Amino acid sequence: MTVKVGIPRALLFYYYFPMWNGFFRALGADVILSSNTTKAILDKGVRQSVDDACLPVKLFFGHVLDLKDRVDYLFIPRMVSVERKEYICPKFLGLPDMIRYNVPDLPPILDVTVNVSRSEKNLFKAFAEVGRVFTSNPRTIRKAYNRGIEEQERFHRLNHLGYLPHEAIEQMGRGLLNQNHSPARQGDMTIALVGHGYNIYDSYISMNLIQKLRDMGVRVVTPDNLTGTIIEEKSAELPKKMFWTLGKRMIGSAFHYMRSDSIDGIIHVASFGCGPDSFTGEIIERHLRRRRNIPFLNLTIDEHTGEAGIITRLEAYVDMIRLRRAAQ
């Protein structure tokens, strides 16, 4: 019987699923995803985690609960660092521990540490460690690792072509791997949505933000559509290196989009109680307001955010941009 590895559809799923999926499948495992976020999943997560955790972490608990009885292993890597001298967020450093001591009756957790802060080579070491749970053949592991890297590169290519990560993951799932064209999008304006992937691409959590904007005739771009080079270059304008990888992507993309003629507005999406967002959001907002040339909207979401309120604010914001344009 094939081994079932469970991956929660939350947090870094939106950044690294293709790599993880490619790796485990090449090792002969079945990859099982938790269901799409629902109210029930979120509620369960909220009940199982500490009150003070941020929404995305609570939601992660919910996805673990959804998945745990259906799989042989849960893949919850300790994602310390994915780029040199950077971190993601303290909560990712403690994630496997938080899960282990708060969710009863768990299957074994594959909680290998991914830390490339000092050396990129550690990435392979981490995957090799996981691989040894499945096979003792180092060549199989090496091959599976390369497979994962390939998938991840395909994923990035799709992102840079204009597919949003959740769309790219879906495309890849359907076997459409060698896309060369940007997706066709209707609309008379483009808005950059800047936020953590697990907030903006989870349609339940974001209250379908992307679709709503598209329905209003807006094309949506995000930090993930930009290449690493642009992000590095633009975020380097800060006097001190931004040490949160996702925060760096948000700041780099905001600095890039605020100068781009094809961008009509920037929306920053933050989680209630998110530590890094409170800083990156502040820096982005201050820089944008100083330039005064691009309309900015800050949306903070938590488990109580009302959908009606969000729609009203979005509509007002999009109308304002259209009026501004008409006046020019």
Partner 1 sequence: MKVTFPHMGNMYICLKAVLTSLGVEVVVPPMPSKKTLTLGTQHSPEFACLPLKINMGNFIEAYEMGADTILMAGGVGPCRFGYYAQVQREILEDMGLKMKMVVLEPPQKHISELLIKIREVTGSSSWIDVVRAIRFGWHKARAVDEVEDVLHRIRPREYEPGRADVVYKKALKWIDDAHDRNELKDAISKARQELDAIPVDNGREVVRIGIVGEIYVMLEPFVNLEVEKQLGRLGVEVERSIYLSEWINDHLFMGLLKIKGSKEARKHAPPYVNHFVGGHGQETIGSTVLFANRNYDGVIQVQPFTCMPEIVAESIIPTVSRDLGIPTFCLIVDEHSGDAGVLTRLEAFVDLLARKKEKNTVKNTVLQSSEKKGEQVCADI
Instruction: Report the interface residues with ligand SF4, using CB under 6 A.
Output: 54, 56-57, 89, 91, 196, 271, 274-277
Q: Which does 93 bind (CB under 5 to 8 A by kind): partner 1, ligand SF4, none?
A: partner 1
The whole-angstrom separation of Cα 182 and Cα 128 is 35
Residue 12 or residue 27: which is nearer to ligand SF4 going by CB? 12
Q: Binder to partner 1 among 242, 258, 314, 318 (CB under 8 A)?
A: 242
CB of 204 to ligand SF4, least distance (A): 16
Q: Which among 33, 19, 13 is positioned nearest to 127, based on CA atoms?
A: 19
Footprint of partner 1 on 62-101 (CB under 8 A): 78, 80, 85-91, 93-94, 96-98, 101
CB 200 within 8 A of CB 15: no
N-term to C-term CA, the chain: 66
Per CB under 8 A, 102 contacts partner 1:
yes
What is the residue type of 18?
P
The whole-angstrom separation of Cα 244 and Cα 264 is 27
Residue 225 or residue 271: which is nearer to ligand SF4 going by CB? 271
Helix axes 245-257, 228-235, angle to 10 degrees: 80
Q: Which does 286 bind (CB under 5 to 8 A by kind): ligand SF4, partner 1, none?
A: partner 1
Per CB under 8 A, 113 contacts partner 1:
yes
Residue 124 or residue 243: which is nearer to partner 1 going by CB? 243
Q: Binder to partner 1 among 104, 175, 239, 306 (CB under 8 A)?
A: 239
Instruction: Give the per-residue contact string, 268-287, with partner 1 (x = CB under 8 A; - = no).
Output: --x-xxxxxxxx-xxx--x-
CB of 199 to ligand SF4, least distance (A): 7
Q: Binder to partner 1 among 31, 133, 149, 238 (CB under 8 A)?
A: 238
Q: Which does 134 bind (CB under 5 to 8 A by kind): ligand SF4, partner 1, none?
A: none
CB of 288 to ligand SF4, least distance (A): 21
Q: Which does 214 bind (CB under 5 to 8 A by kind): partner 1, ligand SF4, none?
A: none
Contact range with partner 1 by CB under 8 A, out of 50-58, 138-146, 198-206, 320-328: 50-58
CB of 172 to partner 1, least distance (A): 30
The whole-angstrom separation of Cα 100 and Cα 56 is 17
Residue 117 or residue 208: which is nearer to partner 1 going by CB? 117
The whole-angstrom separation of Cα 312 and Cα 75 is 39
The whole-angstrom separation of Cα 115 and Cα 82 is 6
The whole-angstrom separation of Cα 25 and Cα 33 is 13
Q: Which residues bind partner 1 (CB under 8 A)?
A: 49-54, 78, 80, 85-91, 93-94, 96-98, 101-102, 113, 238-240, 242-244, 270, 272-279, 281-283, 286, 290, 300
